[in-house]
Amino acid sequence: MPIKASLLSCDLLNLGAEIRLLEEAGVGGLHIDVMDGNFVPNIAFGIDAIRQVCAFTKLPISVHLMVSNPLQFIDVVTYTNVQYVIIHSEGNRHTEETMERIRNRSSKVGLAINPATRVSDVKDFLRLADLALIMGVHPGYGGQTLIQSTISKIGQARCSNPEMLVAIDGGINEKTAYLANREKADILVVGSYLFDNCSCNRLDCIKEKLKILCKED
Binding-site ranges for ligand DX5 (CB under 6 A): 6, 8-9, 31, 33, 64, 137, 139-144, 169-172, 189-193
Rounded CA-CA distance 126/164 in Å is 8
3-state secondary structure of 25: helix
For ligand DX5, the nearest residue by Cβ is: 191
The smaller minimum CB distance to ligand DX5, of residues 99 and 139, is found at 139
Please give the DSSP secondary-structure letter assigned to residue 92: -
For Zn ion, the nearest residue by Cβ is: 64
The smaller minimum CB distance to ligand DX5, of residues 124 and 196, is found at 196
The smaller minimum CB distance to ligand DX5, of residues 2 and 143, is found at 143
The smaller minimum CB distance to ligand DX5, of residues 146 and 164, is found at 146
Rounded CA-CA distance 53/71 in Å is 21
Please give the DSSP secondary-structure letter assigned to residue 46: -
- For residue 208, CA distances in Å to 63, 88, 174 come to 26, 32, 11
Neighbours of 105 (CB within 10 A): 16
Residue of 169, 186, 204, 217 marked active site: 169
Q: Which does 143 bind (CB under 5 to 8 A by kind): ligand DX5, Zn ion, none?
A: ligand DX5
Q: Which does 142 bind (CB under 5 to 8 A by kind): Zn ion, ligand DX5, none?
A: ligand DX5
Quote the least distance from Cβ 101 to ligand DX5, whole Å.
21
Quote the least distance from Cβ 171 to ligand DX5, whole Å.
5
Is there a catalytic annotation at residue 33?
Answer: yes
The smaller minimum CB distance to ligand DX5, of residues 92 and 192, is found at 192
Q: For residue 210, give the nearest of 200, 133, 187, 12 by alpha carbon.
A: 187
Taking the CA of residue 15 as centre, how many other CA atoms within 13 Å lie in the half-sphere pointing to its CB?
14
Q: Which does 110 bind (CB under 5 to 8 A by kind): Zn ion, ligand DX5, none?
A: none
Which backbone phi and psi does 61 adopt, to 5 degrees?
-120, 135
- For residue 104, CA distances in Å to 11, 132, 184 come to 34, 19, 30
Q: Which does 29 bind (CB under 5 to 8 A by kind): ligand DX5, Zn ion, none?
A: none
Quote the least distance from Cβ 114 to Zn ion, whole Å.
11
3-state secondary structure of 2: coil
The residues that touch Zn ion, with contacts defined as CB under 5 A, are: 33, 64, 169
Is there a catalytic annotation at residue 169?
Answer: yes
Taking the CA of residue 154 as centre, how many other CA atoms within 13 Å lie in the half-sphere pointing to its CB?
20
Residues labelled catalytic: 33, 169
